[in-house]
Amino acid sequence: MLKFYKYSNYIKALVVFPILLIFLSSCSLNQDCEKLKDLSVVKEYPGMIIGKISANGKPQICAFGNADIKTMRAINVQDKFHIASVTKLFTATAILKMRDEGKLNLNDKVTKYLDFPELKAIPQIQSVSIMNLLDHSSGIYGFNNDPEYIETLLGAKADQFKKWDPLALLALADSTRVEPFGKLGTGHYYGDTNYVLLGLIIEKVSEMPFSDFIKETIFKPLHLSNTGFYGDLNPDVKGYLKRSEILESIVTINPVFKAVNDSMVDATKAVERIDAAAGIVSNANDLLEFAKAIYMTDFLSSDSKNLLLNTNLKMATDEDCMQSITKKCNSKFGSFIASEGDGPGGINLLLAFNPEQKEAVIAFTNIFGNFNELDRMREEILDYYFSEK
């Protein structure tokens, strides 16, 4: 009986201990959610998804507000959303994986791999390296705010089914049409054109469509089952566009985007569909697992990981941040690495990593147009997670 009693207690412990861990984890998560719900961004924005992951942990995610204002459907922690320019972090990771496998060198010139007529009209293209594209130091004109491009997203030519051809996007950087953003290698000149070129290089080297290569190299190995390319995978969350003076000075919003109240329109269909620069749909769980893989595991080599963590290009618009492939900012709670995305489809997304605490944080909201959403999310949400409690 004594022996049975001994093992009986042991068996009970095996059952009770995991339940206790789940309970404690749940308590911790609920405490975070209870505190986060009082942040002003959570109270003011239509919907928010906020979460974190540590080196040895699982994602802990909170959701607040609505995924759909009209139906009042609550936003869910598993909801998928368009990730806008955080797509670029996937493209950069794919390039770094190719580098790790010896398939290319970051000092290789773009023209070693690409030879399209559209390239010849881009200034200095013969001297532009893959690294210049990764860290946006190429100086190449970026079409992000190009009037012709914006018109097809929000303006008179808005077309929810239009997907720009990469070569047509390169043609927008023609030097007979526009001036380059800057001189090669002299600073950080953010522009989607850089990543369109990286996507074409990935296709050339891999001999696969860009989206297929990303699926095989990143999505599948990391088991990102809720991640895909827009069209193959559609968002669960509605995106809202705030009618602001800044926005309306840029474009007259097409009436196809219906008003949901006095200040916002439903702009879900205005998301950018550029596979290598802004084409991925995902959810918080997958994005946190992705961040954990590239920052906190050996998914990338140490050298490649250091390229994500070390920044050396000054940003003209932000005294506290330096930029390379990612953004590195100093704050009252130390430094953090960030990738950010926003867009007219009603998206603001922050994916940040604190190297000291070995913790990644995500914050997503389904509104665009105030033009300070990312600043506020950094200030309030990163302060909550990264400041000493």
Please write the tens of the pLDDT for every residue from 61-112: 999 999 999 999 999 999 999 999 999 999 999 999 999 999 999 999 999 9
Q: State the chain's mean pLDDT as an integer.
A: 90
- Cβ-Cβ contacts under 8 Å for 107 (sequence gap 6 or more): 129, 130, 131
Between these two residues, 36 and 333, which has the higher pLDDT value? Answer: 36
Secondary-structure percent of the chain, ordered helix, strand, coil, rounded to 5: 40, 20, 40
Given a cut of 50, whether residue 19 has pLDDT beyond it is no
pLDDT at position 45: 98
Long-range contact pairs involving 2-6 (C-beta distance under 8 Å, separation at least 24): none
Identity of the amino acid at 131: M
- The tens digit of pLDDT for each residue in 277-332 reads 999 999 999 999 999 999 999 999 999 999 999 876 655 556 678 888 999 988 88
Question: What is the rounded distance in angstroms from the CA atom of residue 133 to the CA atom of residue 211?
Answer: 19
10 Å CB burial of residue 335 (0-12, 13-18, 19+) is middle
Task: Kindly report, residue by residue over 109-155, the tens digit of the pLDDT.
Answer: 999 999 999 999 999 999 999 999 999 999 999 999 999 999 999 99
Nearest CA-CA partner of 332 in 275, 387, 262, 277 = 387
For residue 15, the model assigns a pLDDT of 44
Q: What is the pLDDT of residues 163-219, one digit of tens each?
A: 899 999 999 999 999 999 999 999 889 999 999 999 999 999 999 999 999 999 999
pLDDT at position 246? 87
Question: Which pLDDT belongs to residue 315?
Answer: 52
- Is residue 66 exposed (0-12), middle (13-18) or buried (19+ Cβ within 10 Å)? buried
Q: DSSP string spanning 202-250?
A: HHHHHTS-HHHHHIIIIITTTT-TT-EEBTTB--SS--EEE--HHHHHH
pLDDT at 14 over 50: no
Q: What is the pLDDT of residue 366?
A: 98
The pLDDT score that the predictor gives to residue 318 is: 63
Between CA 39 and CA 35 the distance in angstroms is 8
Indicate the pLDDT class of residue 23, thresholds 50, 70 and 90.
very low
d(CA 252, CA 130): 37
The ranges assigned to domains in the chain are 32-386
In CATH, what is the architecture of 32-386? 3-Layer(aba) Sandwich (3.40)
Instruction: With beta carbons less than 8 A apart as the criterion, state whether 48 and 63 touch.
Output: yes
The better pLDDT of the pair 27, 301 is held by 301
Lowest mean pLDDT segment, chosen from 27-36, 231-240, 370-379: 27-36
Q: Per the confidence metrics, is the pTM higher than 0.75? A: yes
The residues with which 329 forms a beta bridge, in sequence order, are 321, 336
Predicted confidence at residue 7, as pLDDT, reads 37
